[in-house]
Amino acid sequence: MQLAFCLYKYFPFGGLQRDFLRIALACQTRGHAVRVYTLSWEGDIPYGFEVVQVPVQALTNASRYEKFSAWVQRDLAARPAARVVGFNKMPGLDVYFAADPCYEEKAQTLRNPFYRLSGRYRHFAAYERAVFAPASPTQILMISEVQQPFFEKHYATPKERFHLLPPGIALDRRAPPEAPRIRGEFRAEFGLAADDLLLLQVGSGFKTKGLDRSLQAMAHLPDELRRRTRLIAIGQDEPSGFLRLARSLGLAEQVSILQGRSDIPRFLLGADLLVHPAYNENTGTVLLEAVVAGLPVLCSAVCGYAHYIAEADGGLVIPEPFAQAEMDPLLQRMLRDDDARRRWQTKALAFAETADIYSNAERAADVILAERR
């Protein structure tokens, strides 16, 4: 079959983008043709992919996305596809991969009521309704069961259209047999002494991921512990505001912010703790990437995958509603307790051996390629 995949932006280091790529490759491996519609594509194009960069421009994202959808519909009318799969909410989809939380729920609970009078709201609400309305035929690939009740609440979406997928953790995130050697080489490269402690934060969108919370918690550590603690944050985002915050907290020499990169497994093996105190996080794939690498995790309970940290006994979860005064002592405890970190590592690696957290792409391909009645 000819398949069409739609996403507004592709770059190699985004979680949604990596999910898209694995799913598209899984479909291609089964013999199907892949066409991708996108506004921008960064990085290599996989062999056999037809990538169509849609040539539309507008002053606002909402206008740009409307023009994108109209252009894609015209192209599909001329060059049909058996399935249209979207990784952003938009009209005309056969299958939608629900990487984002319910927009209507956020608009009604986290925004001023006047926000719902804006053109931005009307656009994104309409595009979400096009996917989730009862009359829509779109099948929905859910990666977080936490969000499904919100979609049902606002749209009365029939339950049979939801398909809950397991996480899609890449196998290259698992700790290899040579993990101790990789860790030693990494720590030597970054100038980490034997008793230095490295916090790692990974994810594009530093504000949403709570990098400010991590910096505050680090600044609140006791002097002796703070002096031997470093933090590396990695993601596709503008770092200047967070670097200014680090300087104001006296952490300038201990904090590094790096752009997205392809060697994240080395960082997972070289660090002592993953911190992910997100403000909002539909899933949090990096939490499980840390677990399978044997890296203890400190995350906020708002993360859709936070329950896996508790199930694996692979770290600690900061309760909601979040309070900095609750995160601070948890971070201090995890950094001080070497035995606990070894225990969390052992438990996490055992969990990685048996848990179904790798088959997201294959299960998604099953739904995409299933016969429609």
Q: Which domains does the chain carry?
A: 2-166+358-369 (3.40.50.2000), 171-354 (3.40.50.2000)
What's the pLDDT score for residue 107? Answer: 95
Compute the CA torsion angle 232, 233, 235, 238 (nearest 10 deg): -110
Taking only the tens place, the pLDDT of each residue in 305-345 is 999 999 999 999 999 999 999 999 999 999 999 999 999 99
pTM attached to this predicted model: 0.83
AA identity, residue 76: L
The Cα–Cα gap between 258 and 23 comes to 27
The Cα–Cα gap between 356 and 283 comes to 15
The Cα–Cα gap between 353 and 260 comes to 28
The C-alpha angle with vertex 331 and arms to 280 and 274, in degrees rounded to 5, equals: 60
Asked whether the beta carbons of 34 and 48 are under 8 A apart, the reply is yes
Nearest to 366 by CA among 18, 14, 32: 32
The Cα–Cα gap between 99 and 169 comes to 15
Taking only the tens place, the pLDDT of each residue in 183-214 is 999 999 999 999 999 999 999 899 999 999 99
Count Cα atoms within 13 angstroms, Cβ side, for 47: 1
pLDDT band at 373 (very low <50, low <70, confident <90, very high): low
